[in-house]
Chains A and B, each alone.
Chain A
Amino acid sequence: MKTFRIGGVHPAENKLSASSAIEVLGLPKQAVYPLSQHIGAPAVACVAKGDVVKVGTKIADAGGFVSASIFSGVSGKVAKIDSIIDASGYRKPAIFIDVDGDEWEESIDRSEALVKECDLKPEEIVEKIKNAGVVGMGGACFPTHVKLCPPPGSKAECVIINAVECEPYLTADHRLMLEKPEEILVGVSLLMKAAKVEKGYIGIENNKPDAIKLMQEKATSYPGIEIIPLKVKYPQGGEKQLIDAVIGRQVPAPPAIPISVGAVVQNVGTAFAVYEAVMKNKPLFERIVTVTGKSVEKPSNFLTRMGTPISKLIDAAGGLPADTGKVIGGGPMMGKALVNTEVPICKGSSGVLIMNYKEARRGEARPCIRCAKCVNACPMGLEPFLLSTLTSFDEWERAEKEDIVSCIECGSCQFTCPSNRPLLDMIRLGKSTVMGIVRARSAK
């Protein structure tokens, strides 16, 4: 069975909510939309206080080419444009909408019927994706239309769909594949058409045999799409790891990007969002969010309107357990601990993980014993112990030479460290500092 070549770890899978069907979550009283929900320039609000909006109304315009528009997931009145405390505790500008009823924009096709036929040109598909504010739904939130417009000189050869869901606990993509397989496949064909390629691969880890079987059955009627079962290994969902696993090509160090080896990688959730955007005229304003944790009463997958506070999802899953140690936005490996539960669901919120005290506790950091477990685990072939030391001594030049910017922040090093060293914490800081230095140099 296929997998990527270098490094990787295998954390406990804990897919507690895999058997819970997707439930539609009720509307919140107030929905909040941070203006920066994606990688790139923040969006610019195009509504003002007092404006009436419907479900699917554009509330913020893309702030540049690498940016995405934001759409309201609720109908009601714009209460204010103010700042909200985000997941990390810092204040970020956001649009607040008081919910009133549930009135949708007329242009959205709300029927459940599957639409397969599409006679749009590739450029028109990209335009529609762009106008629907679709971004990568795996968590990084990179605007999808940018990936479909390859830089001059590079040509896409295949579309790879990331249905790996290698993060422990999360099951949003798994459920989506079980419940909307045809929609996903149409979405993949659209992405293939937009990228002007004949071949599409859907990579699924073999801890989801039901999804593999179902998708393989359905895929027979879609020419060019192949389902690739993959061995379970974290971080297989990383773009570069997935390309290596599926087509056996390795992406060189930055500035090379996946398109340099002919691959366009999109998340399975993105493929579904593309289907809805192109075929149903439905902009991106809702997504599937897994709410899970060992002490959670009812681990669930919710179809949630964006802007809904996380506390509402937790309540729907049975409330915050008494032994909560940490609430994490995303999965346990790459997610970030939240400082408050009033943070809204955004485009990239794939899950809410509630950890109990025992799980959440970090062990005391001890000296490095040079066992090189982190080196073996690093899927990018870096030396995490060295990068973290260089960062703590501000040795930016050397850190750049050691290729700190190649780090994908998967956390495998920290996971495997027997001395509980905060490797990723340091490397993240070092990476952002070095990237800043590189940017400043190239701007000169």
Chain B
Amino acid sequence: MDLILVAVISLGAVGLIAAIILYVASKKFAVYEDPRNAQVAEVLPQANCGGCGFPGCAGFAEACVKAGSLEGKMCPVGGQETMDKIAAILGLQAEASEPKVAVVRCNGSCENRPRIVKYDGARSCKVAHATCAGETACAFGCLGCGDCVASCKFDAIHMNPETGLPEVDEAKCTACGACAKACPRVIIEIRPKGKNNRRVYVSCVNKDKGPVAMKACKVSCIACGKCVKECSFEAITVANNIAYIDPTKCRLCRKCETVCPKNAIVSVNFPPRKPKVETPETPASETQKAE
């Protein structure tokens, strides 16, 4: 009988002491956490992709709450909708932002860009880029080893085995920018999706001079400057032997696409062009129509 009594008392005493220590510790070392952190984290997509620039969704939530304003903060996966929700929780104003998408700026398919050597090193764009110029005469274009595909957490980018180039699935792409970071040649750009998902961009990053670029690839930008002259909105600039269309200035008139002698300018999601009969409409009205 004594034995049981001793056991109960001693265990009870140990439990009591432990309880006191735990109680004191929980009061003394308590860390105050803003309850809004959890609320914000709840509305985030929980993809933990890092596309916002913070370490995961929890990190982004904490940063939003701490900063006291949503300036410069954007969850590329959740988009405007999520940011509005966060704004409502925090009683702040969300910055208006455009939805974006990853754009592959190389059209050097096997057909357009002949393969002149065979690369048999490690199947990694990073290694290939550091070792050699790649399998073609273009030292700037896609290497085709698929680092971007491996980097995507949303299954939104895949290699097309026919062209040997990556293709972005617009529906799945969240514009987190992982592929753009993974590409050692900075071919992938995160661009605004554009009105009705329509975009016009230069699908080439070759910085070689015209004649050299021309030899390497059928659809390379040769920096002839025709598009610059054609553009009525000063949206196109040529620097380092490469043209660039500023998406904020571009009005999607597609005139540049028609004048490009190398078909390096690409437009996506436009309806098929009407056969040229009547006088061309002014670009401004065209955009209005598109709306």
**Complex Cα distance A363/B133, Å?**
22
Residues of A within 8 A of B137 (CB): 89
Nearest residue (CB) in B for A88 is: B132
A336 vs B139: C-alpha distance when bound (angstroms): 17
The minimal Cβ–Cβ distance linking B183 to chain A, given in whole angstroms, is 14
Q: Are B127 and A88 in contact (CB under 8 A)?
A: no
Whether the pair B133, A88 counts as a contact (CB closer than 8 A) is yes
Interface residues of A in 380-431 (CB under 8 A from B): 392, 422, 425-426, 428-429
A425 contacts B127, CB within 8 Å? yes
Q: What B residues does A392 contact at CB under 8 A?
A: 124
* Chain A residues whose C-beta falls within 8 Å of the C-beta of B126 in the assembled complex: 429
Selected contact of B122 from candidates A90, A426, A432, CB within 8 Å: A426
Judged by a CB distance under 8 angstroms, whether B120 is at the interface is yes
Interface residue? B134 (CB, 8 A)? yes
Interface residues of B in 192-235 (CB under 8 A from A): 208, 212
B208 pairs with A89, CB closer than 8 A: no
B117 at the interface (CB under 8 A from A): yes
Docked Cα-Cα span, A88 to B127, in Å, equals 12
Asked whether, in the complex, the Cβ of B130 is within 8 Å of the Cβ of A432, the reply is yes
Interface centre among A85, A362, A392, A425 (most CB of B within 10 A): A425
A339 beta carbon closer than 8 Å to chain B: yes
In angstroms, Cα B145 to Cα A365, docked, is 15
A422 and B127 within 8 A (CB):
yes
CB distance from B195 to the nearest CB of A (A): 37
**B208 and A91 within 8 A (CB):** yes
- Number of contact residues on B: which range applies? 10 to 19
Q: How far is the CA of A327 from the CA of B54 in the complex (A)?
A: 47
Instruction: Write the nearest CB–CB distance from B250 to chain A, whole angstroms.
Output: 31
Which residues 85-110 of A sit at the B interface, judged by CB distance below 8 A? 85, 88-91
Q: Which of A424-444 contact B (CB under 8 A)?
A: 425-426, 428-429, 432
| B150 to chain A: closest residue by CB | A392
Assuming A89-B117, A89-B139, is B132 touching A339 (CB within 8 A)?
yes
Q: 1/0 per residue B82-119: CB within 8 Å of A?
A: 00000000000000000000000000000000001100
Cα A89 to Cα B195 with chains together (Å): 40
Q: Inside 8 A of A336's CB, which chain B residues have their CB?
A: 131
Contact of A422 among B117, B121, B132, B212 (CB under 8 A): B121
Select the residue from A91, A339, A392, A426 with max chain B CB neighbours within 10 A: A339
Q: B116-156 CB contact bits vs A (8 Å, 1 = yes)?
A: 11001110101100111110010100000000000000000
User: A271–B230 Cα gap in the complex (Å)?
Assistant: 63
By a CB distance below 8 angstroms, the chain B residues around A362 are: 120-121
Inter-chain CA distance A392–B127, complex, in Å, is 10
Task: Assess whether A91 is in contact with B139, with CB atoms less than 8 Å apart.
Answer: yes
If the complex has contacts A90-B139, A91-B139, A91-B208, are A425 and B121 also in contact, measured as CB distance less than 8 A? yes
Q: Are A339 and B122 within 8 A (Cβ)? A: no
- Does B124 lie within 8 Å of A90, measured CB to CB? no
What CA separation (Å) do A425 and B139 show in the bound complex?
19
A432 to B129, CA, bound (A): 13
Point out the residues of chain A lying under 8 angstroms from B130, CB to CB. 428-429, 432
Q: Name the distance in Å between B102's Cβ and chain A's nearest Cβ.
A: 20
Give A136-180 interface residues, CB cut-off 8 Å to B: none
B122 pairs with A422, CB closer than 8 A: yes
B133 in contact with A90 (CB, 8 Å): yes
Q: Which residues does chain B contribute within 8 Å of A428, judged by CB atoms?
A: 127, 130-131
B residues in contact with A426, CB < 8 Å: 122, 124, 127
CB neighbours (8 Å) of A89 from chain B are 117, 132-134, 137, 139
Interface residues of A in 11-70 (CB under 8 A from B): none
Residue on A with the closest CB to B138?
A: A89
- Could you tell me which B residues sit within 8 Å of A by CB distance? 116-117, 120-122, 124, 126-127, 130-134, 137, 139, 208, 212
Q: Could you list 8 A-B pairs, sorted by A, with CB under 8 Å?
A: A85-B133, A88-B132, A89-B137, A91-B139, A340-B117, A425-B124, A426-B124, A429-B127
Q: A362-B120, A429-B127 are in contact. List 4 more A-B contacts (CB 8 A).
A: A89-B117, A89-B139, A91-B212, A339-B133
